[in-house]
Structure 1
Amino acid sequence: MTTTTVKHLVVGAGFAGLGMAVKLDEDNESDFLVVEKGSDVGGTWRANDYPGAACDVPSQLYSYSFTPNPDWSMSFSPQPEIQAYIRRVADESGVLDRFRFEVALEKAVWDDDAQQWQVRLSDGSEVTATNLISGAGGLSEPRLPDIDGIEGFQGEVFHSARWNHDIDLTGKRVAVIGTGASAIQIVPELQKVVGHLDVYQRTAPYVIPRNDRRYTGFEKLAFRHLPLVQKAYRTAIYWGRELYVPGFTLEPKLAWPAKQMALTNLARGIKDPELRAKVTPDYEIGCKRILISNTYYPALASDNVEVVTDGISKITGDAVVTSDGVERPIDVLVVATGFFTTEQPIAEAITGRTGATLAETWRDTGMVAYKGTTVHGFPNLFQIVGPNTGLGHSSMVFVIESQIAYIRDAIRTMEREGYASVEPRPDVQDAWNDDLQRRLKKTVWNTGGCASWYLDDEGRNTTLWPRTTFTFRRLLARFDVASYDVTASSPTPSKKKVSA
């Protein structure tokens, strides 16, 4: 069994893990290792390669600020282009020699005597690290539905994030369970090729038009040779997106124009009044994620598609049976039921200073962290896209870069001041999260009358950030060491706890 000692162990090679690696290298913090359970960089964009996969945030915002992409073909990027962009950044950054693919973190335990993380990986090797940086993400582990009989289905079944490209769906009878962000991209693509498609809807989403367009040759030329032009596009889109925030967090009536846009989109796409009633939402817009598509509603209205709103009672060897007793035979079952967003799977594998795992620590409180990045009881653990860092309006890459900057400053502070470990004080963490939950109580996500993946089983919103992204960036602009308990480095085995 081999043991590797590194200063920084980064988990995940999506936007978060790769961005962290690039910036660590830029800071001459070259002693790091990135482990990735998949076969390549890309994270969410490597895994979600289903038909029609594309981003619902404008392309100019969906890239690193330090590596703009002049080659986007569309104003909203398709998945292959995003994955190609991430791969290009990785290739050109010179950091891939410190990446290990198809290796997952199995167990990480904080050693308080050594002031280090002891980590076991899925290939049997071990790593000792000063800092553990998780970029595992909230959309990394597919959530399968708990439906009676699904294990006995004799046809092909796969999750949207584990698409089986070897299956030819031409002429097949297919069922899609779910009507979220992935499903509304998948359904129009399947409708074109399958014999019959059943779409199982629990809650109708709001779907606004996808105002997408192809960039002109002149624009792409300007992006490549006049960087300020691309920066101007990015800046304008960014501030336009920030205007959405009050409608989510202060007064849902401010989102009235978006609601009318969605209802007009629905009316144009579906003429049949019975079907239109089926797919009309009955809650405030924004309560669930607002989706974008020009093709979803026309696909639902097609002759070979049926929208099913009755609950699924069971799945047999070759059919889906709904609560009204109707049995609909199928050949292929596509599960588009989302991810474990309020229960990070990696939390089961991380054990902190007290001997409790992160999952056990969060069992009664839900996911909590300080600034979405550090957790009391888990020294030198840094999370990117941690609790309450998700967005309902803008690009997660902006949040990711804000957290990377905070972690970089934490590392610089530790080195400059000679700290072996840093851990947020419990009172500071509690105050941060009390303020978050107070703000979240009045948001449309909590009051809009829907059930969504934003809320955990206790109804707590542990996923979303209830303020502007520029406020988030300001609050994470520097590492506030006074909010932390720190342990001074010592040449001897003894440790000295000091107050910053």
Structure 2
Amino acid sequence: MTRTPDHEIVIIGGGLSGIGAAIMLDRAGFGDYLLLEEGDGFGGAWHWNTYPGVGVDIPSFAYQFSFEQLSGWSRIYAPGAELKAYAEHCVDKYDVRRRSRLLASVVSSQYDDSSDLWEVHLADGDVVTGRYVINATGVLTKPKKPEIRGADEFRGTVMHTARWDHDVDLTGKRVAIIGTGASAVQIIPVIASDVEHLTVFQRTPIWCLPKPDSGLAWPLRTALGLVPGSKAAARLISQTYVEVTFPLAAHFHGYVPTALFGEKLGHLHLRRSVRNPETRQKLTPQYSLGCKRPSFSNTYLKAFNRANVLLETDPIETITSTGVRTVSGVTHDVDVLILATGFKTFEKGNMPAYPVQGIDGGDLESFWTENRFQAYRGVSVPGFPNFFTILGPYGYNGSSYFNLIETQSAHVTRLLKAARKRKASRVDVTEEANDRYFAKSLGRRDNQVFFQGNCAGANSYYFDDNGDVPLRAASTLETMWDASHFPLKDYTFS
């Protein structure tokens, strides 16, 4: 029996990708959607991450929708609270809130082959059906706890950076932080002056470059809001800076090894920031810039000049009831343990974080386990019709995340318009097109820094279990062009 879906489209995820997809669908004439978000608010990473010092790591003028550009950012690199407010602003301005459900945790999604619709099962037992599903859950969403012996034995306070407890006062406390990734780089210089002692446990040093950041005085913000073309100019400058510092440097390293210049800048930043030669050496990466996510900060490295901050590079043996013991037998007693250990990325149960069953019960996670991570332009996987992803394998090129949201959403809306024109109820990418795109993606990686540079020992989450880096080796202009020019014949409409 043919079933009528509850909604034409179900969007899973209320972060900026889900919000952006909803807005662009509506603007394209697809207003019958329901957005499902497991949290109690919108914003995704900017809803969950509220740790001290949290902020965007690219210029704010590039970190916003092209159709909703603000001029009132307080800094070139806006703090997290402003990004959270921006998400809420977009939700209200574009009427997304009315078509959303919060506290709606998806536990599975199954395709009904007989009716060409998806059944989305929620944790509360409810089932929502949609002709199409857009997975906008992202990747850096599920906090990852360290695989360290005794992790559950500590009797003090433990918190992950992505689930910060603001009731915990760090003033005068002995604090340990495990990890020196992006969140730790932001947290450490903020809390260092408040705590009695801070022990930083580092496994792999991070490339830290100078951050071209400053406050934006009200005259400048006013000018950006009033002078025609000023916001567009600020956005173009910011996007060009982002393009040079990652997409071009990472994906075209074989042609233009700009990462080598970045390494020189990183070494200079280290020499100028850290006084102690031994500490400086410990903070010096031994892998190529770009092998893992770099960071930009003017205060992180300087924090290690403080007498109350200790950089510990001896591997951790175990976590005890009172602190952390290293393999050399030294125990660091602490009151608060902060886990800056990142998120699950290319791991089972995380892409996406719920089971997806396509045609004949095919499981998406099993497909990727057996065939490696792959998706046609990061959007579609054969055998999973009417299911589209915003951050699928080989979709994101490392530029502004907002560019990814807009290009992938443009790809999807183009498909939906074609399906509506053909009066089709099923849209599925062909195996031939998917295989061709996957081969093209792998064929480009010889020029990427991940495979040309020295990435041994980087401990980078860019690499999956197969040694692949499922990032899109393309310039941002290419991704934008492809979103509106990919061959529709690469899909079947029925």
Match of 1:225 in 2: 226
Aligned residue for 1:166, secondary structure, equals coil
| Percent identical residues | 35
What is the one-letter code of the residue matched to 2:465? D
Match of 2:464 in 1: 456
Tell me which of 377, 382, 406 is aligned to 1:371. 377
- What is the rounded CA distance, in whole Å, between the counterparts of 1:4 and 1:430 in structure 2? 31
The code of the aligned residue for 1:83 comes to K
- Counterparts of 1:226-241 in structure 2, within 5 Å, are 226-241=227-242
Q: Which amino acid aligns with 2:325?
A: V
Partner residue in 2 for 1:495: none
Structure 2 CA distance, aligned partners of 1:177 and 1:389?
Answer: 31
Partner Cα separation in structure 2 for residue 85 and residue 235 of structure 1: 20
Letter aligned with residue 201 of structure 1: Q
Number of equivalenced pairs:
483
Q: Structure 2 CA distance, aligned partners of 1:444 and 1:181?
A: 20
Match of residue 251 from structure 1: 253
Match of 2:133, SS state, is: strand
Equivalent in the alignment of 1:262: 266
Q: Deviations over 1:389-426 (max 9, x none)?
A: 3344x311011101111111111111001111111111
Tell me the amino acid that sits aligned with residue 418 of structure 1.
K
Per the TM alignment, residue 486 of structure 1 is displaced from its structure 2 partner at its CA by 2.6
Deviation at 1:50, TM superposition (A): 0.6
Give unpaired runs (5+ residues) of structure 1: 488-500
* Shift in Å, 1:365: 2.9
Tell me whether 233-242 or 415-424 shows the greater mean CA deviation.
Answer: 233-242
User: What is the CA–CA distance in structure 1 between the aligned matches of 2:461 and 2:451, rounded to whole Å?
Assistant: 11
What's 2:340 paired with?
A: 336
Mapped to 1, the partners of 2:397 and 2:315 lie a distance apart of 30
| Alignment partner, residue 183 of structure 1 | 184
1:229 CA drift (Å): 0.8
Determine helix, strand or coil for the equivalent of 2:101.
Answer: strand
Pairwise mapping of residues 136-215 of structure 1 onto structure 2 (< 5 A)?
136-215=137-216
2:427 maps to what in 1?
422
- Aligned alpha-carbon RMSD (Å): 1.6
Is the contact made by 1:157 and 1:333 (CA closer than 8 Å) also made in structure 2? yes
Aligned match of 1:465 in 469, 472, 487?
472
Residue 192 of structure 1 deviates from its aligned partner by 1.4
The CA distance in 1 between the partners of 2:383 and 2:183, in whole Å, is: 36
CA distance in 2, matches of 1:71, 1:4: 41
1:64-463 to 2 correspondences below 5 Å: 64-244=65-245, 245-251=247-253, 253-343=257-347, 344-346=350-352, 348-392=354-398, 394-448=399-453, 449=455, 450-462=458-470
CA–CA distance in 2 between the matches of 1:319 and 1:365?
43
The answer to whether the 8 Å contact 1:424/1:485 transfers is yes
Shift of 1:456: 0.8
Contact 1:179 1:205 in 2 (8 A): yes
TM-fit CA distance, 1:143: 1.3
Q: Distance in 2 between matches of 1:371 and 1:188?
A: 39
**1:47-77 CA-partner distances (Å, limit 9, x unpaired):** 1111000111101000000000111111111
**Is the 8 Å Cα contact of residues 347 and 358 (structure 1) preserved in structure 2?**
no
CA distance in 1: counterparts of 2:62 and 2:228, whole angstroms: 14
Q: Distance in 2 between matches of 1:23 and 1:422?
A: 19
1:345, distance to aligned residue in structure 2 (A): 4.4
Change in Cα spacing, 1:240 to 1:170, as seen in structure 2 (3 Å) is closer
Counterpart contact for 1:222–1:230, Cα < 8 Å = no
1:62 is matched with which residue? 63
Partner of 2:16: 15
**Partner Cα distance (1:359, 1:441) in 2:** 27
Q: What SS does the aligned partner of 1:170 have?
A: coil
Does the residue aligned with 2:425 lie in a helix, a strand or coil? strand
Alpha-carbon offset, residue 288 of structure 1: 1.5
For 1:24-39, list aligned pairs within 5 A: 24-39=25-40
Give yes or no for contact 2:177–2:199 (8 Å, CA) kept in 1: yes
TM-score by length of 1: 0.93
Distance (whole Å) between structure 1 residues aligned to residue 360 and residue 193 of structure 2: 55
Provide, for residues 248-278 of structure 1, a one-character-per-residue CA deviation record: whole Å limited to 9, x for no partner.
2233742233212211111111111111111
3-state SS, counterpart of residue 337 of structure 1: coil
With structure 2 as the length reference, what TM-score do the two structures score?
A: 0.94
Aligned equivalents of 1:482, 1:13: Cα separation in 2? 31
TM-aligned CA deviation for residue 123 of structure 1: 2.1
In the TM superposition, residue 384 of structure 1 has moved relative to its aligned partner by 0.5
C-alpha separation in 1, matches of 2:335 and 2:466: 37
